[in-house]
Amino acid sequence: MNLKNKVIKRTDINTRESGFKLIILISLMVYFLSACSKDPIREVTTPPVNPPTDTSKVVYNNGVFIVNEGNYNWANASVTYIDNKSGLAYQDIFMTANSRGLGDVAQSMKISGDKGFIIVNNNDRIEVVSLKDFKTIKSITGFSSPRYIEFIDSTKAYVTNMRRNIAIVDLKTLTVVKNIPTPYWTESLVRFGQFMYVTCIGSFNVPTADRKSQVYIIDTKTDVIVDSLLLGKEPVSITVDRKNKIWVICTGGYDNYEAPTLQRIDPALNIVDKSFTFPVQQGVPSRLCMNPTQDTLYFLYNGVYQMAAGASELPATAFIPANRHLFYGLGVHPVTGQVFVSDAIDYVQSGKVFRCSQANGQVLESYSAGRIPGSFCFTASSKK
């Protein structure tokens, strides 16, 4: 009996000791818990050096918007704004103004009046923002992988889509009112008088050989495709010069199906009246731009190239050599003619933008941007 009692006592002590140690263990665990909070845990961005974060006094009427595509399926698109007056670059202004991200893959932006239209490709959405404060006025939906927008007048715009159809947007109600049926991927577009010239790449899930590459000519009064003509493979970029010629860059296909070309269309006859062929395997041209007087072409071809509209051959050397930069986006200031070119670096980290002299291509200023800075949009009253 005595013995049994002793044993029980001993167990009691053991239990007490263990209880004490247990408390220590639990409190250790609770310590780790202190890292947990009730606020949503979301991505934090450390701002770049000298970050002007206060956008409350910024008016978006004199500067350059950089549309940062972001990574596909990462939903990290953004807009950077360079204010001409202060020379400062404001990062992620859409997020600042709207307290939410812009979305997944922002393709391009254009301005009509006091509104900015940002095309968010993988969200099938156009964010219409006020240029006063960059707050969203409306998110237009109903697209099928939208790419670019072009305004016809103050009431109507066309939007190209990767999947199918050209959408017609009513600028008064900010809705898609109609579609011009196209079976395939439409990409770049430019207005020429009453007509819209829209490049069509073909079905995007087939090899280049099976793609029908053409340009559609649409009567903007009737919204009917009135004509089309065949072009080189993958016509990605279109613009118009002062002599009323339309220029198109064709990459030749993602699988190097044929040599890339720069083609010129005479819209009076709707024929390709000139074609320049790029050397194979040296690069792929893209991002065709015009200078303010519309007599000089700019495009990316690893480096930035400059070419007079009347030139008889492609330029031999780069205007701004790439020098291991990954040039991705290109824009020419509509007033000053300065060249804006972006470096996507590795497509994952925040990119850079260089403002370069129109005279010799020298870098005048460099700015931090968001991820994959792809296109530029200049405000109407841009000066500098």
Partner 1 sequence: MQLKETEVRANLVPGNNGYKKVKFDSLILLPYRDADLSTVLSQISTIFIKSYSPGSLATTSFRGTPANHTQVEWNGISLSNPMLGQSDLSQIPVSAFDEIEVLYGAAGLTKTSGAFGGVVNLVTNPDWNNRIQASVAQTVASFDNYTTGAGVIAGTSTFQSHTRLNYLSAVNNFPYNDDFTGEKVTQSNAKVLQYGLTEEAFWKLKDKHLFTARVWYSYDNRDVPPVVEGSATYYPQKMLNKTLRSILEYKLVEKSWNFSLKTSLVNQFMNYRNDSMLINNDHNCYTSFSSARFSWMGVKNLTIRPGVDYTYDYVKSDSYSGVKTRSTLGLYLEVAYKFNNHVKSQLILREDYLDGAFMPFVPTLGLEYKPLNKINLYLNANVSRNYRYPTLNDLYWEYWGNPDLKPEYDNGLEGGITYNYPSPNGKFFIETAVSGYYSWMHDMIVWSPLSYNPSVWKPQNVSEVNARGIEASLNLKWKVSKLQITSSNNLTFCRSTCEKTNSPEDQSLGKQLIYIPESTYNGTLNLNCWNFILGYNLTFVNKRYTTPNNQAYMPGYSLSNIIFGKSFNLHTFVISLQVKVNNLFDVDYQSVKNWPMPGRNYSLTARFEFKK
Query: Would you tell me how many other CB atoms lie within 10 Å of the CB of residue 194?
Result: 11
Stretch that binds partner 1, among 106-114, 242-250, 278-286, 313-321 (CB under 8 A): 278-286
Amino acid (1-letter code) at residue 33: L
* CB nearer partner 1, residue 355 or residue 371: 371
Stretch that binds partner 1, among 73-81, 170-178, 270-278, 356-364 (CB under 8 A): 73-81
Minimum Å gap between C-beta 358 and partner 1 is: 22
Q: Which of 63, 103, 202, 331 binds partner 1 (CB under 8 A)?
A: 103
Minimum Å gap between C-beta 253 and partner 1 is: 9
The three-state (H, E, C) secondary structure of 157-172, written as one string: EEEEECCCCEEEEECC
Minimum Å gap between C-beta 304 and partner 1 is: 13
DSSP state for residue 121 in the 8-state scheme: G
Minimum Å gap between C-beta 144 and partner 1 is: 8
Minimum Å gap between C-beta 74 and partner 1 is: 6
Tokens (6 digits) for 162:
């990767």
Q: Which of 24, 41, 268, 359 binds partner 1 (CB under 8 A)?
A: 41
362 interacts with partner 1 by CB under 8 A: no
Q: Which of 4, 32, 317, 359 binds partner 1 (CB under 8 A)?
A: 32
Minimum Å gap between C-beta 171 and partner 1 is: 21
Site string for partner 1, 177-206 (x = CB under 8 A): --------------------------xxx-
Inter-CA distances, 12 with 2, 3, 21, 22, Å: 16, 15, 14, 15
Rounded to an integer, what distance in angstroms lies between the CA atom of residue 130 and that of residue 65?
13
SS3 (DSSP) at 62: coil
281 interacts with partner 1 by CB under 8 A: yes
* CB nearer partner 1, residue 166 or residue 240: 166
Give me the count of residues in the chain: 384
Please, which residues bridge with residue 65 across strands?
81, 377
Residues from 211 through 250 that contact partner 1 (CB under 8 A): none
Please, which residues bridge with residue 301 across strands?
303
* CB nearer partner 1, residue 26 or residue 311: 26
Rounded to an integer, what distance in angstroms lies between the CA atom of residue 317 and that of residue 315?
6
* CB nearer partner 1, residue 57 or residue 100: 100
Inter-CA distances, 83 with 89, 230, 234, Å: 6, 42, 35
Produce one character per residue of 331-361: b if its CB has 16 or more CB atoms within 10 Å, e if not: bbbeebbbbbbbbbbeeeebbbbbbbebeeb
Minimum Å gap between C-beta 34 and partner 1 is: 9
Site size for partner 1 (CB under 8 A): 71
